[in-house]
Structure 1
Amino acid sequence: MSIATQTDPDQDIGPARSRTKTVQSILERFALVILTFGVFVFFATWPQTSATFLSIDNLQNVAANQSALVLAALASLFPLVCGEFDLSVGAVATTTHIVVASFAANGWSLPVAIVMGLLVGLVVGGINAVLVTRVGVNGIITTLGMATLLTGLVTWGTGGVNIVEGIPRSLTDVGTMAIIGIPALTIAALVAGGLVAYFFALTPPGRRLTMIGSNRRAADLVGIGVQRHVASAFVLSALFASLAGIALLARNGIASPQAGGTAFTLQALSAVFLGATAIWPGRFNVLGTFVAVFFIAISVAGLSLAGAAGWVSDVFTGAALVIAVAASTLVGRRHRS
Structure 2
Amino acid sequence: MSTTTVSEKAVPVRRGGRAGGLLAAVGGQNLSLIGALAVMLALFGSLNGNYLSWTNIQVIAEAVTISGVLAVVQTVVIICGGLDISVGSQAGLYSVVSAMVFTSTGSSAVLGIAVALVMGAAVGVLNGVIIVYGRVNATIATLAGLAAYKGVAQLLSNGAAQGYVLNNSVFVFLSRGKIAALPVMVWILIVVALAVHVMLKYTDIGRNLYAIGGNDTAARLAGIAINKYLIAVYSLLGVVAAVAGILLTARTGSGQPTSGSEGLELQSITAAALGGCALKGGKGGVGGTLLAVALLGALENGLTVEGINAFWQNVAQGALLVVAVVIQQRRSGERAVGLPG
Counterpart CA distance in 1 for 2:182 and 2:324 is 29
Counterpart CA distance in 2 for 1:237 and 1:316 is 26
Which amino acid letter does the alignment assign opposite residue 101 of structure 2? Answer: F
Deviations 1:99-123 (A, max 9, x none): 0011112225111110110122111
Aligned to 2:117: 118
Q: TM-score, normalised by structure 2?
A: 0.86
Shift of 1:174: 2.0
Which amino acid letter does the alignment assign opposite residue 253 of structure 1? Answer: G
Counterpart CA distance in 2 for 1:174 and 1:307 is 29
Counterpart CA distance in 1 for 2:40 and 2:165 is 40
Q: TM-score, normalised by structure 1?
A: 0.87
Which amino acid letter does the alignment assign opposite residue 296 of structure 1? Answer: L
Counterpart CA distance in 2 for 1:16 and 1:220 is 39
**Is 1:132 matched up with 2:150?**
no
Contact kept? 1:92, 1:150, Cα under 8 Å:
yes
Query: Which of 28, 53, 56 matches 2:54?
Result: 56
Counterpart CA distance in 2 for 1:148 and 1:286 is 28
Deviations 1:239-270 (A, max 9, x none): 11111111222222232222354511000111
Contact kept? 1:78, 1:236, Cα under 8 Å:
no
Counterpart CA distance in 2 for 1:177 and 1:207 is 36
Aligned to 1:152: 151
Aligned to 1:233: 233
Contact kept? 1:172, 1:250, Cα under 8 Å:
yes
Counterpart CA distance in 2 for 1:168 and 1:202 is 42
Q: Secondary structure at 1:53's aligned position in 2?
A: coil
Counterpart CA distance in 1 for 2:110 and 2:79 is 32
Contact kept? 1:71, 1:189, Cα under 8 Å:
yes
1:29-178 aligned within 5 A = 29-46=30-47, 49-50=48-49, 52-106=50-104, 107-170=106-169, 171-178=171-178
Q: Structure 1 regions of 5+ residues with no counterpart?
A: none
Contact kept? 2:23, 2:31, Cα under 8 Å:
no
Shift of 1:56: 3.0
Contact kept? 1:75, 1:238, Cα under 8 Å:
no
Percent identical residues? 27
Shift of 1:180: 2.8
1:16-27 aligned within 5 A = 22=20, 27=28
Aligned to 1:325: 325
Contact kept? 2:165, 2:254, Cα under 8 Å:
no
**RMSD (Å), alpha carbons:** 2.6
Aligned to 1:302: 302
Aligned to 1:293: 293
Aligned to 2:339: none
The answer to which of 183-192 and 318-327 deviates more is: 318-327
CA 1:332–1:19: 2 relative to 1, 3 Å: farther
Which amino acid letter does the alignment assign opposite residue 90 of structure 2? Answer: V
Aligned to 1:284: 284
Aligned to 1:208: 208
Shift of 1:187: 1.2
Aligned length: 321
CA 1:276–1:180: 2 relative to 1, 3 Å: same
Which amino acid letter does the alignment assign opposite residue 77 of structure 2? Answer: P
Q: Secondary structure at 1:135's aligned position in 2?
A: coil
Contact kept? 2:98, 2:246, Cα under 8 Å:
yes
Contact kept? 1:81, 1:210, Cα under 8 Å:
yes
Contact kept? 1:73, 1:271, Cα under 8 Å:
yes
Contact kept? 2:174, 2:185, Cα under 8 Å:
yes
Shift of 1:78: 2.3
Which amino acid letter does the alignment assign opposite residue 300 of structure 1? Answer: E
Contact kept? 1:75, 1:89, Cα under 8 Å:
no
Contact kept? 2:88, 2:265, Cα under 8 Å:
yes
Which protein is richer in helix relative to its size?
Answer: 1
Shift of 1:288: 0.7
1:222-261 aligned within 5 A = 222-261=222-261
Which amino acid letter does the alignment assign opposite residue 58 of structure 1? Answer: N
Shift of 1:124: 0.8
Shift of 1:28: 4.4
